Amino acid sequence: MLDQKQVQSLPQLTPPVLTAYLDTNPANARNQGQPPGYIIYLKSRGRVIAGRGLGDEQKLCKEQLKRVEEHLRREPPRSRGVLVIAGPDAWNVLPLQIDVEDELHWGRPSLTQLLWLLDENRPCGGVILDRSGARFYRLWMGEAEEQQAAEFRVDTSKWRSKDLMPPGHPGMQKMRGSQRDVFEQRIEAQYAKFYREAAERIRRWAERESLDPVVLAGPNEVVEPVWGELPRSLQERAAMLKADLGHASAADVHARLEPAAQSWKREYELSMVGRIIDQRNGLRAVAGMDETLTQVQLGGARQLVVVRGLGGKLRQCARCGWTDRAADAECAYCGGERHVVALRAVIPELARKYDVPVHVVGGEAASRLREAGGIGAWLR
């Protein structure tokens, strides 16, 4: 599982460093030869990057390229992608179980692609239920991590009191008729209590971890009662899978729950984009590049919605940072010089500067939003 503390430390790395995003997926044909395609890309693109430097700078870049190549040959990645940031005082290797585009940069840590990946792969939750309890999983960046601290177990031994259990000693009359009915009713009452407690535990966990959605999986006789105890607000951010996964491994849990989570996300994104387009009146929502960028930078946006892979160029003031599509060489606000910047690099930067969460959409939702300019926002 990706180390969040390590990710948060990357912007503080001292430049110059080599940043390498590499598609290392062993299922891709290009990576099945010798040398694998990601090594070929590193060497060919590395020659171009290093050739731009002079003297000590070029030497330092070549040293880091060699260092990364040697590491990859010595320890071939088993993940779908990898991010390596290497410098004289830096060495960070982040395996990624999601699709990565090849990129190579020298200088400051280049985190644009990582920020997009984080926005595209927000964490969701999985809860595996059976009559013995509940196991909690955080599904994030292509992996499932069991959160044992949230585990909820049912101690049925506490139910085995004299007033609940039938006589078990030789010669004693067995429980019959109404006695057995009462016994079974009391056992079911204990399970009903478990379902209520499990639902409350799930609610608190989902809120604490900011999970969307939460997928509940389990046998029908367990998952439906727990689902019924969830508050409606959580049911709207959850999905149910009727499957017995009580003995499944973390990898199997991810394989079974991830499709359900993605299906929920696609439907949610389509609904969200539809509402933004319908309500883009400048009061509740906006859509389109110019209006959205303005609202973000004026502090009026509370959530950005962006098409996956959105490209293009903008101009940004080197003095005040104002960014828009105007072709003016000087900033209209402060008179500073404006430079051409990639939209893909600027969006994560602006979102974090103005504390606006980003929701990246794909599929049919992306098609609808692209017709409206590829970007929109809910307003505060």
3-state secondary structure of 110: coil
Residues 181 and 215 in one domain: yes
Domain total of the chain: 3
Same domain, yes or no: 298 and 231: no
292 located within any domain: yes
Structure tokens at 293: 């960028």
Q: For residue 140, what pLDDT is reported?
A: 95
160 and 235 belong to one structural domain:
yes
62 domain-assigned: yes
Residue that is last in its domain, among 202, 237, 268 = 268
Question: 261 and 141, same structural domain?
Answer: yes
pLDDT value at position 172? 44
Predicted confidence (pLDDT) per residue in 232-278, tens digit? 999 999 999 999 999 999 999 999 999 999 999 999 999 999 999 99
Does 247 reside within a domain? yes
Helices (H), the chain: 4-9, 37-51, 56-74, 112-120, 177-209, 220-229, 232-235, 250-278, 289-297, 343-353, 363-371
CA dist 291 and 305 (Å) reads 13
CB atoms within 10 A of CB 203: 17
Q: Same domain, yes or no, for 59 and 143?
A: no
> What pLDDT digit, counting tens, does each position of 167-180 carry?
444 544 455 556 66
Q: How far apart are alpha carbons 264 and 25 in whole angstroms?
A: 26
Q: Are residues 252 and 317 in the same domain?
A: no
Instruction: Give the CATH number for residue 197.
Output: 3.30.420.60
- Tell me the CATH number at 341: 3.30.1330.30
Report the DSSP pairing between strands 323-324 and 313-317.
antiparallel
The whole-angstrom separation of Cα 99 and Cα 90 is: 24
Residues 163 and 130 occupy one common structural domain: yes
Q: What is the pLDDT of residue 160?
A: 55
pLDDT digit string, tens, across residues 55-101: 899 999 999 999 999 999 999 999 999 999 999 999 999 999 999 99
**DSSP count for the chain of H helices, then E strands:** 11, 17
**Domain limits at 314?**
279-379
Least confident of 10-14, 138-142, 162-166, 217-221: 162-166
* Dist CA 284 CA 368 (whole Å): 19
* Each residue's pLDDT tens digit, 97-132: 999 999 999 999 999 999 999 999 999 999 999 988
pTM, two decimals, is 0.85
- Show which of 57, 85, 110 is a domain's final residue: 110
Average pLDDT over every residue of 182-201: 87
Angle between helices 289-297 and 343-353 (to 10 degrees): 30
Query: What is the overall mean pLDDT for the chain?
Result: 92
**Closest by alpha carbon to 175, among 189, 164, 186, 187?**
164
- State the Cα–Cα distance between residues 209 and 99, nearest whole angstrom: 24
